[in-house]
Structure 1
Amino acid sequence: MNALTPLFSHRKHWAHRFGTAPFLPMSRAEMDLLGWDACDVILVTGDAYVDHPSFGMAIVGRLLEAQGFRVGIIAQPDWTSAEPFKALGRPTLYFGITGGNMDSMVNRYTSDKRLRHDDAYTPGGEGGKRPDRAVIVYAQRVREAYRDVPVVLGGIESSLRRIAHYDYWSDKVRRSILVDAKADILIYGNAERALVEVSHRIAKGAKPADLDDVRGVALMKPAVPEGWTEVHADDLDVADEGARKSGPMSVVRLPAFEQVAQDREAYARASRVLHRESNPGNARPLVQRHGDRELWVTAPPIPLTTPEMDGVYDLPYARAPHPAYGDAKIPAWEMIRFSVTIMRGCFGGCSFCSITEHEGRIIQSRSEGSILKEIENVRDKTEGFTGIISDIGGPTANMYRMACKDRETEALCRKPSCVFPDVCPNLNTSHDDLIKLYRKARAVPGVKRVMVASGVRYDLAVKSPAYIKELVAHHVGGYLKIAPEHTEEGPLSKMMKPGIGSYDRFKQLFDAAVQAAGKKYFLIPYFIAAHPGTSDEDMMNLALWLKKNKYRADQVQTYLPSPMALSTAMYHSGVNPLKGVRHGGSEEVETVKGLRQRRLHKAFLRYHDAENWPLLREALKAMGRADLIGPGKHQLVPAWQPPGTGLTGGEGRRMGAKKGAQVFLTKGVERPGRPSPIAATPSEPPARKGPGGASGPGGRAEPGAGRPRGPAKRG
């Protein structure tokens, strides 16, 4: 079965289909109502089951249903025993396991490794409904329940842990999650193609271990198959030269797990190879030794065509949580229920973000017709709709239908970003199709407003002043969130983000559009504290920039090293994989690991909060910048301390400090509790979970930190 076969043209599993279920069954009673004696595939997920294309298990389940498979869902099972995993009986084909729309460790812990007490993907927002490393735990319980049933891993947690990876929470390099879960096969990325092919071939009797020709999978082998030429990738230049000599049957050997676990530069080399081998047009399979076996990772999946994307989003979703949850609110659902995804993928390549590693750099866009049809479905089928589409976007708001001007060039390119250090001249940056889509969406009867909540890539937006005008006039409500991330060249170069000048140009165009439209809108910039490559001086300069521009961040984001991201390799190894890692010629990267320094960097972002002043004064003195302590406009923090602030524990309480109180200063005058009108940077915003996209048997989301804020994702 060729990987390029159109997604919906496969032969159906059943000659006579059972029809579409109103919801995929979560109990034997529901199976009985459908006339099923068994499920073919059972999906186990760490999220509540919401039958909506923003939730990965819904896309996977509905896609398999469209292929004629009977699909059941076990959502947020009690993992302390195997019994809940027997609720739907033994599947005829396999168990599909995902941690959910977020990596379970990101979902459960903050960037300071503190346990979260809420979970946006759980009814009532209740925390603790999934275990740490959920994929591994669920796989173990499935094996206990039915030892001989194949186990297929998918979703964000599996996708970003498909090779040996640094794990922030244990502070060590862990084996591929496929090894630790003792599963049969792992499907990574947006995996509709692989999912359909793997399912049909297993249904025909194939063993998962024999599916090494399917794109977008990882599996274990005793050895590299005959006929393949190994390219040892100690350096990518060597790998590329080897590939030219060896021909198409070449596999790139990553340093073994045992080596990367001990040698940080070897880890950085492996990271560089992985990211360079990510273009479906030229990527080769990867192999990495784990003990006495080989981890085999096939080339990334071919992106979906527009008709195939339309087919995925046109599936018969109920567009609601499963009735078993009753009236319980699921926060993630509440935030995305009136949103519509128009595309997936991101060519930004920000080193701290895992969108590219998961969804790919090639933008996959839906047709106008499919998008407008979904807007009509939101209008007609979503309870509580008031006429407002809360977001029309994707991983970024404004990459719709953007692509390389030359497909041959695109197929050969190995650059990690199309927009860093500058926008590639081969990139089509036209916003015309997006503007047309916005206008048609606004014209749908019954729709009052169409908002854009996804992050706007401002270095692209400045290429189209007409787009900025359209955005401001019709699609912004109060404020617009964008992500310059920093002001200083050091951290920006490690993040692969444009200089602050791009933000300044965007702000000029935005302010002009606001004035022309007669609006009162504000820009809310996001910034990251403690990212690799950031010095204390960098954070000090950022704080001075914030004060000069009268920005007061109410909540801030501290960098969290998510699995497989390039910046995570920098954090762990102390070198920059992008610059090459070979023979001691590496570019060293300053990392921020100590809790005190991480808190200091965060405090610089909240320079206006009196609770941070003692720490900042101490740091400024140590940096030789005591001149920034005082009441002047050019100074950062005052020399005095309001009573009851800047203290902890019993001493602070005895002095009358109120728990959670915030102190804001205006022109040097203390005004307790008076927030700035531009003080709304979410604390550790999650990577955009959706809407849409399949990651094997489960979620499709970006690991970020924090709670969902709609379908937007920072770009």
Structure 2
Amino acid sequence: MKHKFLPVNKSEMEERGWDQVDFAYVIGDAYVDHPSFGHAVISRVLEAHGYRVGIISQPDWKDPKSIAVFGEPRLGFLVSAGNMDSMVNHYSVSKKRRRTDAYTPGGKMGKRPDYACAVYGNLIRQTYKKTPVILGGIEASLRRLAHYDYWSDRIKRSILLDSGADMISYGMGEHSIVEIADALDAGIPVEELTYIAGTVVKVRDKDRIPDAEFLPSFAELTEDRLAYAKSFYTQYRNTDPFQAKQLAEPYSDHLWVVQNPPSLPLSTEEMDDVYGLDYARTYHPSYEEKGGVPAISEIRFSLISSRGCFGGCSFCALTFHQGRIVQVRSHDSLLKEAEAITHEPDFKGYIHDVGGPTANFRHPSCAKQTRCGVCKDRQCLFPAPCRNLDADHSDYVRLLKKLRDIPEVKKVFIRSGIRFDYLLAEKKDHFLRELCEYHVSGQLKVAPEHVSDPVLSLMGKPEHAVYTKFTEKFEQMNRKLGKKQYLVPYLMSSHPGSTLKEAVKLAEYCRDLGYMPEQVQDFYPTPSTLSTCMYYTGVDPRTMKPVYVPRSPHEKAMQRALIQYKNPELYDLVNEALHRAGRTDLIGYGPRCLIRPRRNGEKSGSSGERKPGASRERKPGMSGRGNGTAAPGRPKKKKTIRNIHRKKDNRR
């Protein structure tokens, strides 16, 4: 165990008896050797294939010497911005700088640059002019072709060109990175590696791309938003490894960026091999004195059971990164990892999660996907479950029971998300019963996202009636089990298609539920999602029909404020939104009103005039249907989600 971690400096490299690394891996995150971190997986996969990898974590991007830690690597540099796009990592949806970075020691912000892949790539090129540079990770994957960049509000070129790199290994990368390494090790020049699945490359001779589908040129994309919508949808329909075509994006008469079809999904045996590698399962010990790496706390006692998602949410980039074909680990692999977790010093008996992008997806949505791929023009769950959908939780239920039976395990939680429409598509209720009886701790977080069906349609989500049916079945099951457990809905404001009218409807839903969320997710236009394409172009690329897009920061603030209408600090925004939406009927003293009128001369942010005998406005965070407070002399009862639903139960 002397060499538990890969080397992070030259002295550690020499301790291993190496005079040179094959690959120097430059990463924007702290070095965490855990399979939830992309750099850990890729570096360990390369190590398992006999390659020497050194880690250069969060180099000083203003100093070229910071990437020369190991000297020139024998085969090339690998570059990743980290587990998040660097711009999402740095900025909120309002483009304000975040204060902390969970992927940096001590949570310190500012240890990586904006557009990290491009900056690191150019930093390397200052010293190493000819050494191969291969980009990977989420930032490179989602920016692999021309893309809309929310932070600069313009179409940007493929990151391959802006970084000075030679190739992009997109997606999860295990297959493509080994093929790249083997080719370079065999002496094939990097510019000749134009054929590897799961890669994006530069081509300067059009005759070398005879079978590609040509996209509009970069010049066309910057001039015509509809051309961008059509180009994006072509890319969206070519994300399946079995059916996708090679795509070519012209930048000049002598330069094309070419995307090869995605790599094939991993088999269960390959998944087991990847997650069974010799990970240290924690951050590098050099970070201990800085307070460790905060991100490890979220995943340290969790199990990744699957990857890929056939949910098809428009605002999610998983289609472009992991794909729609679900890939899973075996029970034996997961049980072995769970056993190992129970022996860690800080383990208290709780496995925090068993899942992936969607926890209850444990196999491909239908049998044909592993042979023929996913349908280009049909979704598995949207607008309704496909008739060929194999909605079966049996395997997941068996896995969860085995995990519960491990003697040291007290509780197994499911926190990575339940797709409720898929749960309802199963004829039996055995998973819902297991979920409620064993895997919820009081509250289950779910993501209906909205209540307006037109908005949900643009989101790629089921109609609101489907969520309503799920809430009823969830309540029924908990009553049957004698449990008091409640749903906590995730809601999104300002998604394309949402006018103030739809935002008011969402506020009314929160009123009727007696629930004001402490946080609301304002739609964030991240690279390479259908929703981001709608945001930029004003059309749905699937139909090319116009879509209303709330773009102004003020309107977005009003939509967000409506969901949190009980917060006195947001009174002015809610009041303005209701006037603009023509819903002044919701300003008053009745039980269905959202806010009270404000008398003349009253200060901004006030809750409004109080009628004689009427109760005071609640403080932010309080919720419930009425506006009452505790009787004089009686202690106030804290109004939580649990208490709200208990009231609803008593009214029945």
What range describes the TM-score normalised by the shorter chain of this pair? over 0.9
Which residue of structure 1 aligns with residue 221 of structure 2?
260
State the secondary structure of the residue aligned to 2:400: helix
Give, as a single letter, the amino acid of the residue that structure 1 aligns with 2:485.
Answer: Y
Over residues 148-176 of structure 1, what are the superposed CA-to-partner deviations in whole Å (9 max), with x where a residue is unaligned? Answer: 21100000000000000000000000000
Distance 1:566 1:210, change over 3 A: same
1:148-187 alignment, distance < 5 Å: 148-187=130-169
Does residue 206 (structure 1) correspond to residue 188 (structure 2)? The answer is yes
> C-alpha displacement at 1:225, in angstroms?
2.9
Over residues 523-562 of structure 1, what are the superposed CA-to-partner deviations in whole Å (9 max), with x where a residue is unaligned? Answer: 0111111011111100001110111111211111000101
1:624 corresponds, among 571, 579, 582, to 582
Which residue of structure 2 aligns with residue 522 of structure 1?
486
1:316 corresponds, among 267, 275, 278, to 278
Which residue of structure 2 aligns with residue 713 of structure 1?
none
Distance in 1 between residues matched to 2:530 and 2:87, nearest whole Å: 18
- Quick check: 2:516–2:623 contact (8 Å CA) kept in 1? no
Give, as a single letter, the amino acid of the residue that structure 2 aligns with 1:481.
Answer: K
Residue-pair matches, total: 622
Task: Report the aligned-residue RMSD.
Answer: 2.1
Does residue 32 (structure 1) correspond to residue 14 (structure 2)? The answer is yes
State the secondary structure of the residue aligned to 2:373: helix
Distance in 1 between residues matched to 2:642 and 2:124, nearest whole Å: 46
> C-alpha displacement at 1:645, in angstroms?
6.5
State the secondary structure of the residue aligned to 2:542: helix
Over residues 331-354 of structure 1, what are the superposed CA-to-partner deviations in whole Å (9 max), with x where a residue is unaligned? Answer: 110111000000000001111000
- Quick check: 2:352–2:415 contact (8 Å CA) kept in 1? yes
Report the more deviating stretch, 138-147 or 211-220: 138-147
1:71-150 alignment, distance < 5 Å: 71-150=53-132
Does residue 193 (structure 1) correspond to residue 152 (structure 2)? The answer is no
- Quick check: 2:136–2:168 contact (8 Å CA) kept in 1? yes
Task: State the TM-score, normalizing by the size of structure 2.
Answer: 0.92
State the secondary structure of the residue aligned to 1:42: strand
Which residue of structure 2 aligns with residue 430 of structure 1?
392
Give, as a single letter, the amino acid of the residue that structure 2 aligns with 1:319.
Answer: R
Which residue of structure 2 aligns with residue 395 of structure 1?
357
> C-alpha displacement at 1:261, in angstroms?
1.1
Over residues 201-230 of structure 1, what are the superposed CA-to-partner deviations in whole Å (9 max), with x where a residue is unaligned? Answer: 0111112221222101001111333572xx
Give, as a single letter, the amino acid of the residue that structure 2 aligns with 1:310.
Answer: D
Give, as a single letter, the amino acid of the residue that structure 2 aligns with 1:144.
Answer: Q
Distance in 2 between residues matched to 1:182 and 1:674, nearest whole Å: 61
Does residue 351 (structure 1) correspond to residue 341 (structure 2)? The answer is no
- Quick check: 2:623–2:639 contact (8 Å CA) kept in 1? no
Which residue of structure 2 aligns with residue 301 of structure 1?
263
State the secondary structure of the residue aligned to 1:58: helix
- Quick check: 2:587–2:594 contact (8 Å CA) kept in 1? yes
- Quick check: 2:271–2:328 contact (8 Å CA) kept in 1? yes
Which residue of structure 2 aligns with residue 413 of structure 1?
375
State the secondary structure of the residue aligned to 1:269: helix
Distance in 2 between residues matched to 1:679 and 1:121, nearest whole Å: 33
Distance in 2 between residues matched to 1:164 and 1:118, nearest whole Å: 30
- Quick check: 1:610–1:645 contact (8 Å CA) kept in 2? no
Does residue 563 (structure 1) correspond to residue 527 (structure 2)? The answer is yes
Distance in 2 between residues matched to 1:673 and 1:152, nearest whole Å: 60
Which residue of structure 1 aligns with residue 415 of structure 2?
453
1:480-519 alignment, distance < 5 Å: 480-519=444-483
Over residues 314-341 of structure 1, what are the superposed CA-to-partner deviations in whole Å (9 max), with x where a residue is unaligned? Answer: 0000111111112423111011100000
1:309-708 alignment, distance < 5 Å: 309-327=271-289, 328-380=291-343, 382-407=344-369, 410-411=372-373, 413-415=375-377, 417-462=379-424, 463=426, 464-579=428-543, 586-640=544-598, 646=605, 662=620, 664=622, 666=624, 667-669=626-628, 676-678=639-641
Distance in 1 between residues matched to 2:639 and 2:356, nearest whole Å: 29
> C-alpha displacement at 1:630, in angstroms?
1.1
Over residues 282-312 of structure 1, what are the superposed CA-to-partner deviations in whole Å (9 max), with x where a residue is unaligned? Answer: 1100000113400110001100000000000
Distance in 2 between residues matched to 1:549 and 1:254, nearest whole Å: 47
1:274 corresponds, among 217, 223, 235, to 235
1:226-241 alignment, distance < 5 Å: 228=210
Distance in 2 between residues matched to 1:409 and 1:631, nearest whole Å: 61
> C-alpha displacement at 1:147, in angstroms?
2.0
Distance in 2 between residues matched to 1:496 and 1:199, nearest whole Å: 38
> C-alpha displacement at 1:518, in angstroms?
2.3
State the secondary structure of the residue aligned to 2:444: strand
Distance in 2 between residues matched to 1:202 and 1:632, nearest whole Å: 73
- Quick check: 2:516–2:621 contact (8 Å CA) kept in 1? no
- Quick check: 2:7–2:53 contact (8 Å CA) kept in 1? yes
Distance 1:676 1:208, change over 3 A: farther
Which residue of structure 2 aligns with residue 6 of structure 1?
none
Q: 5+ unaligned residues in a row in structure 2: which ranges?
A: 607-618, 644-652
Which residue of structure 1 aligns with residue 615 of structure 2?
none
Give, as a single letter, the amino acid of the residue that structure 2 aligns with 1:258.
Answer: A
State the secondary structure of the residue aligned to 1:320: coil
Which residue of structure 2 aligns with residue 683 of structure 1?
none
- Quick check: 1:553–1:679 contact (8 Å CA) kept in 2? no
Which residue of structure 2 aligns with residue 583 of structure 1?
none
Which residue of structure 1 aligns with residue 610 of structure 2?
none
Distance 1:48 1:373, change over 3 A: same
Distance in 2 between residues matched to 1:343 and 1:335, nearest whole Å: 17
Distance in 2 between residues matched to 1:673 and 1:440, nearest whole Å: 44
Which residue of structure 2 aligns with residue 710 of structure 1?
none
Distance in 1 between residues matched to 2:124 and 2:492, nearest whole Å: 39
- Quick check: 1:346–1:395 contact (8 Å CA) kept in 2? yes
> C-alpha displacement at 1:678, in angstroms?
2.8
- Quick check: 2:572–2:604 contact (8 Å CA) kept in 1? no
> C-alpha displacement at 1:55, in angstroms?
0.6
Distance 1:172 1:484, change over 3 A: same
Distance in 2 between residues matched to 1:74 and 1:296, nearest whole Å: 29
Distance 1:383 1:146, change over 3 A: farther
Distance in 2 between residues matched to 1:138 and 1:408, nearest whole Å: 37
Distance in 2 between residues matched to 1:645 and 1:23, nearest whole Å: 57
State the secondary structure of the residue aligned to 1:284: coil
Which residue of structure 1 aligns with residue 613 of structure 2?
none
Q: 5+ unaligned residues in a row in structure 1: which ranges?
A: 1-18, 229-249, 580-585, 648-660, 681-715
- Quick check: 2:137–2:170 contact (8 Å CA) kept in 1? yes
State the secondary structure of the residue aligned to 2:56: strand
Report the more deviating stretch, 461-470 or 255-264: 461-470
Task: State the TM-score, normalizing by the size of structure 1.
Answer: 0.84
- Quick check: 2:566–2:620 contact (8 Å CA) kept in 1? no
> C-alpha displacement at 1:638, in angstroms?
1.7
Distance 1:412 1:345, change over 3 A: closer
1:48 corresponds, among 26, 30, 33, to 30
Which residue of structure 2 aligns with residue 7 of structure 1?
none
Which residue of structure 1 aligns with residue 650 of structure 2?
none
> C-alpha displacement at 1:31, in angstroms?
1.0
Give, as a single letter, the amino acid of the residue that structure 1 aligns with 2:294.
Answer: P
Give, as a single letter, the amino acid of the residue that structure 1 aligns with 2:511.
Answer: K
Distance in 2 between residues matched to 1:610 and 1:341, nearest whole Å: 42
Q: Which has the higher contact order (CA 8 A, sep 6+)?
A: 1
1:288 corresponds, among 249, 274, 287, to 249
> C-alpha displacement at 1:521, in angstroms?
1.4
Distance 1:216 1:470, change over 3 A: same
Percent identity reads: 41
